[in-house]
Structure formats: C-alpha cells, structure tokens
C-alpha cells in the first residue's frame, strides 16, 4: 500500500444527494397542442381498477403506483368510470358507508367512482386543432376533473385536470356545478364551508 496515497475526502449532506435527481422535463404552455395531455385508453400508463376492488386495496395500488386517479373497469374489462385517490377518503365515501350501513373498509371502488356517463366528452377530431388551454377551459366549464375523448363511437382517451397541472405547472380551477336539486343543495352547502 505504500505506493498509494489517501485522497482528500469529506462528508456529504442530504441536500447534495437529493440534487442528483433526474432533471424535470420543461413545462409546456397553454398554447401547445392538446394531444400532450391526452392519455390513451390503450396506454399502459393508464391505471385500471376493477369496480369490485375494495377501497383499502385500491388505495394501496394507487399509492404504490404513485397515481392520483384510475379508470374503473367492470368484469368484462369495459371502462365504466373513474376515481380520484382523494375520493377514497373523502367525506362522500364515509356518507356512502353510513347509508349502506357498512364499515368504510367494506366499500368497493364501484360505490365511489364517477360513472363515465356523467363525464363530459369531446371528439378526437376537436383535439387535433385544440390547444391545452382550450381543453382546460372545457374542463373548467364542465366542472369536471375528467374529459373523455371519443373517436366516433368508442372511447379513445381521457384528459385529467391533474395531467394538465403536471405538464404545465398550472392547475385548472373547478367550481361545483348544479344539474339537479340535490346538486343545488350540495353547491349551497359547499359554499358555506
């Protein structure tokens, strides 16, 4: 060992180790093509959960996959709805459990999902010339976190407000919209809080 010499060394801080993280891709602006925010149904990136899956297991899968939403499928693997991670522990989930007279852990994704029939939809053709800002305005006007993209009569993809936030760094402001008397009541109660 006499032919080798010791190199000067020092301690490394946690901040220095964190700075080695992968560089983030540059943020897009609202004038970029809307195709940047569309998640295709055939994509392996889109998380699918069976509607019969229990909420505890669904929460675990969403957390492990680091996703904040998922598509919900029936026994035939047909998309029947969508669910946001925040809805699993939301006030509504506990209200549903109380109404069904079951514990929260006994609920399934099917009880908490938003059915696709209640989601706004636009044609794929419209997205070819649309900008991200157009999609954001549509989502805001519809008051929905999700916007379905239809190719003729079949579901092509989905745009999620969270995806717009991820690629642009700007969130889409959503306001409660009433379409029935029950919704009017919920909007009034929501605004009081």
User: Please, what are the domains in the chain?
Assistant: 33-192 (3.10.580.10)
Q: How confident is the model at residue 193 (pLDDT cuts 50, 70, 90)?
A: very low
Tell which wins on pLDDT, 87 or 185.
Answer: 87
In whole angstroms, how far apart are CA 83 and each of 15, 50, 100, 153?
36, 11, 19, 23
Q: Which residues pair with 122 in a beta bridge?
A: 149
Q: Return the pLDDT at 9.
A: 74
d(CA 104, CA 91) in angstroms, rounded, equals 11
At residue 40, what are phi and psi to the nearest 5 degrees?
-70, 145
Per-residue pLDDT reduced to its tens digit, 114-135:
999 999 999 999 999 999 999 9
Q: Return the pLDDT at 153.
A: 86
**Lowest-pLDDT range, 8-17, 70-79, 123-132?**
8-17
Query: What token pair was written down for 150?
Result: 């239809």
**Cβ distance 39 to 163 under 8 Å?**
yes
Q: Return the pLDDT at 185.
A: 63
pTM above 0.85, yes or no: no
Q: Return the pLDDT at 106.
A: 94
């Amino acid at each position: 060992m006499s032919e080798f010499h010791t190199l000067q060394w020092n301690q490394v801080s946690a901040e220095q180790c964190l700075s080695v993280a992968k560089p983030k891709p540059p943020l897009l602006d609202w004038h970029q093509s809307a195709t940047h925010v569309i998640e295709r149904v055939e994509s392996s990136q889109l998380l699918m959960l069976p509607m019969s899956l229990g909420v505890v297991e669904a929460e675990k899968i969403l957390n492990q996959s680091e996703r904040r939403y998922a598509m919900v499928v029936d026994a035939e693997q047909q998309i029947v709805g969508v669910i946001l991670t925040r809805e699993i522990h939301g006030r509504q989930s506990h209200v549903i459990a109380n109404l069904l007279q079951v514990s929260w852990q006994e609920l399934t994704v099917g009880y908490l999902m938003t059915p696709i029939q209640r989601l706004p939809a636009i044609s794929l053709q419209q997205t070819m010339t649309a900008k991200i800002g157009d999609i954001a305005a549509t989502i805001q006007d519809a008051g929905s976190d999700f916007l379905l993209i239809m190719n003729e009569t079949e579901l092509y993809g989905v745009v999620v407000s969270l995806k717009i936030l991820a690629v642009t760094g700007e969130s889409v402001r959503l306001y409660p919209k009433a379409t029935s008397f029950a919704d009017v009541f919920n909007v009034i109660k929501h605004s009081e809080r």
